[in-house]
């Protein structure tokens, strides 16, 4: 435990130093590191964040498709995973949950950044149904085949979301899998998008087995790993969100990345001087602050990795 704690504290110190350096930089300082760790302006972010301290870096934030002069900010980051830890690259968006005032912004992101190269996106929602203000985190998608969800963003782009009429949702104790349709209508000629009306499919998965505080255990942990592998096998762009888009979101992306590596390679392929957990979490934090936010979540990654190792390579061995 003390070794894991020391590794987490090192990651915390790296992050603190990185953010302090960016905060102390003068306006004329255009060094690579300063520019990389800069944030959007306070004016852009006003009233659009759940938690003001949690912000995306400017260099990899999602930029909304809006008409000229409109605010293109959403609290979401495009993520690239360390080569070798996942079989493809640049297929994640880490996002905060939509606020009531940013629902249309969220669907703008799904339509124009989640739908890549002809692949329909999948949304992984990690907020629990028992959280405070849960309605604010669950009001952006339909929950039945008779419900239609409509919203319009600041540029006059309309979003109409409804469930596949003939598709049956899959549900178990810990998550619900839905197939949705998204119809986008561009009402303003200044929005740089063609064609003006599009229809796309979106998979939405609500994992509700993550406790408000803590990490999934028992059956919830098993279903989380099942979900990660099932979603990965789709090979589609993945948008992951919790509330702030850093804690549970970071754990999910880190687990997906690490497990993808060990599903392909043997644990013995890792060199003695390597630590996949540290490597992936460091990589994530260099792209979005606070990813895998707590020491408990960091230790959870090792617990899962130990469990996966035992099932894959440890069972049947004689331990003297």
Q: What is the pLDDT of residues 153-167, one digit of tens each?
A: 888 888 999 987 766
> Which of 62-66, 190-194, 273-277 is least confident?
190-194
Range of the domain at 39: 2-314
CATH number of the domain that residue 158 is part of? 3.90.190.10
Residue 139 maps to a domain: yes
Predicted confidence at residue 96, as pLDDT, reads: 96
Predicted confidence at residue 136, as pLDDT, reads: 47
Rounded average pLDDT over 224-230: 95
Choice between 114 and 234, residue whose per-residue pLDDT is larger = 234
Residue 319 maps to a domain: no
Rounded average pLDDT over 119-136: 73
Rounded average pLDDT over 39-45: 89
Rounded average pLDDT over 205-227: 91
Structural domain count of the chain: 1
Q: Does 262 score more than 90 pLDDT?
A: no
Residue 320 maps to a domain: no
Confidence tier at 20 by pLDDT (50, 70, 90): confident
Q: Does 130 score more than 90 pLDDT?
A: no
Q: Does 129 score more than 60 pLDDT?
A: no
Q: Cis omega before residue 120 (within 30°)?
A: no
Q: Which of 67-71, 80-84, 134-138, 291-295 has the highest mean predicted lDDT (pLDDT)?
A: 291-295
**pTM for this entry:** 0.90
Residue 117 maps to a domain: yes
CA distance 50 to 16: 21
Annotate 28-41 with three-state secondary structure.
Answer: CCCCHHHHHCCCCC
Residue 230 maps to a domain: yes
CA distance 53 to 112: 27
Nearest to 48 by CA among 94, 126, 103: 103
Q: Does 205 score more than 60 pLDDT?
A: yes
Rounded average pLDDT over 303-308: 91
CA distance 201 to 16: 40
Cα end-to-end distance, the chain, whole Å: 23
Q: CB of 79 within 8 A of CB of 94?
A: yes
Q: Does 26 score more than 70 pLDDT?
A: no
Rounded average pLDDT over 126-150: 72
pLDDT tens per residue across span 54-111: 999 999 999 998 888 899 999 999 998 765 555 444 579 999 999 989 999 999 999 8
């Amino acid at each position: 435990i003390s070794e894991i704690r020391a590794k987490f504290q090192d990651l915390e110190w790296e992050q603190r130093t990185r953010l302090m350096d960016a905060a102390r930089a003068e306006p004329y300082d255009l060094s690579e590191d300063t520019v990389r760790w800069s944030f959007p302006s306070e004016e852009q972010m006003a009233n659009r964040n759940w938690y003001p301290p949690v912000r995306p870096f400017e260099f990899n934030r999602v930029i909304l498709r809006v008409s000229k002069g409109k605010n293109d900010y959403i609290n979401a980051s495009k993520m690239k995973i360390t080569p070798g830890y996942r079989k493809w690259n640049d297929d994640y968006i880490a996002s905060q949950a939509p606020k009531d005032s940013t629902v249309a912004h969220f669907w703008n992101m799904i339509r124009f950044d989640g739908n890549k190269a002809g692949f329909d996106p999948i949304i992984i929602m990690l907020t629990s149904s028992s959280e405070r203000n849960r309605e604010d985190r669950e009001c952006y998608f339909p929950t039945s085949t008779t419900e239609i969800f409509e919203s319009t963003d600041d540029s006059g782009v309309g979003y109409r979301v409804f469930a596949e009429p003939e598709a049956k949702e899959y549900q178990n104790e810990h998550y619900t899998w839905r197939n949705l349709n998204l119809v986008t209508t561009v009402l303003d000629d200044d929005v740089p998008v063609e064609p003006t009306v599009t229809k796309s499919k979106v998979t939405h998965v609500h994992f509700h087995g993550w406790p408000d505080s803590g990490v999934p255990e028992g059956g919830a942990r098993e279903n989380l790993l099942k979900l990660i592998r099932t979603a990965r096998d789709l090979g589609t762009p993945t948008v992951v969100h919790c509330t702030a888009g850093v804690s549970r979101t970071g754990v999910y992306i880190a687990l997906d990345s690490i497990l993808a590596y060990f599903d392909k390679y043997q644990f013995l392929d890792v060199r003695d001087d390597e630590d996949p957990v540290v490597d992936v979490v460091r990589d994530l934090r260099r792209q979005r602050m606070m990813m895998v936010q707590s020491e408990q979540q960091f230790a959870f990654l090792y617990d899962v990795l130990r469990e996966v190792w035992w099932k894959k390579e440890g069972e049947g061995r004689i331990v003297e």
